Structure 1
Amino acid sequence: MKAPISSALAAIFLTACATAYRPYTFLGGGGWKEVQIADNAFKVTFEANGHMSKTQAADLALLRAAELALANGYSHFIIGSAPDDSRTGAYTTPSTTNINLTTYGNSTRGTAQTYGGQTYVFSFPAPSITVVLFKEKPPLSTTVYDAALVAKSIKVQYGIK
């Protein structure tokens, strides 16, 4: 019974592609998470699988921040902090050695070949941003994002409806 389940899970992971732009689901390979931390502030994280670049994951966190601003009646936002919660890991495949021996009288000759032992390094991007939302563009000396422009631009860039 365990073999069919293991095979099915392996097939899912081997055929997976980049994380879809959607709310976070563990079995879906990631997505966005958000938590409201003040009346006009949110922490947004986009957890991606190993098939997505850090840049794309950061763009999708920015898109979610813009959507939150617009959905809550705000037109602009700034990024207060942007820690990187990405995770990396490695997996080394098991190694196997095949030995072929041939004996001629008192002598034995052989060959040995070792397969496997490759190490694969993977990264799961998870940019996290804290955003402060504004009803109008504030006169600040930091980057102020226009929520509508950010949402439109990133959706076009990644073909998101």
Structure 2
Amino acid sequence: MKKILILSVLLTGCSTTYQPHSLIGQNGFAETELSQNHYKVTFKGNEKTSQKQANDFAMLRASELMIAKGCLNFKVLNSSNEMISSVVFPQTNAINPFSSAIENRIHGNTNTFGQYHEPKSTVEVSCSAASGNQQSEIYVSAAINQEIKKKYDIVGQ
């Protein structure tokens, strides 16, 4: 039990990892195929994730989809970034002085309002026959994939 508690505290204190969207945390990437080789990819982070990281992870997922489809290059048709704000309301429960701030937040033991900002990045991409050129928003799938994985030390995905 103690190990699970320590692990959960460690995991909740970190920025969102590169992973598929889950219903539990609602963070991670998700994609919708709009047509053949044409996707809308979204990445939502937590309060520890930067907007840049959310954007990079959306691009990483786009590159993975394009590589899987055999597309050497892809074009960004649309992109958007937003910060989703949520407010934590105070609870009537008393703060447990022996619990961590994270445990108090999880169990609703707080007497102050809090506001959290979570970044969300969305890109719409399609396979492109043209070669990579960042000015025209055309990217080399493998290069973007390797660059972002290296930047965030992502291994084996």
Deviations 1:39-60 (A, max 9, x none): 1210000121212111101100
Larger radius of gyration: 1
* Match among 65, 68, 89 for residue 68 of structure 1: 65
Q: How many residues align?
A: 134
Report what 2:50 is aligned to: 53
Q: CA RMSD in A?
A: 3.0
**Structure having the larger proportion of residues in helix:** 2
Aligned to 1:129: 123
Give the conservation status (yes or no) of the 8 Å contact 1:75–1:136: no
Query: What code does the residue aligned with 2:46 have?
Result: N
What is the TM-score with the length of structure 1 in the denominator? 0.70
Matched, 1:37 2:51: no
Spell out, residue by residue over 1:90-145, the C-alpha distance to the aligned partner (whole angstroms, 9 max, x if none). 235469xxxxxxxxxxxxxxxxxxxx864422112111110011245279961211
CA distance in 2, matches of 1:118, 1:127: 30
Give the match's secondary structure for 2:52: helix
- Is it true that 1:152 corresponds to 2:119 in the alignment? no
- Aligned-pair identity in percent equals 27
Change (3 A) 1:93 1:13: farther
Normalised by the size of structure 2, how large is the TM-score? 0.72
Structure holding more strand per residue: 1
Q: Unaligned stretches of 5+ in structure 1?
A: 1-7, 96-115
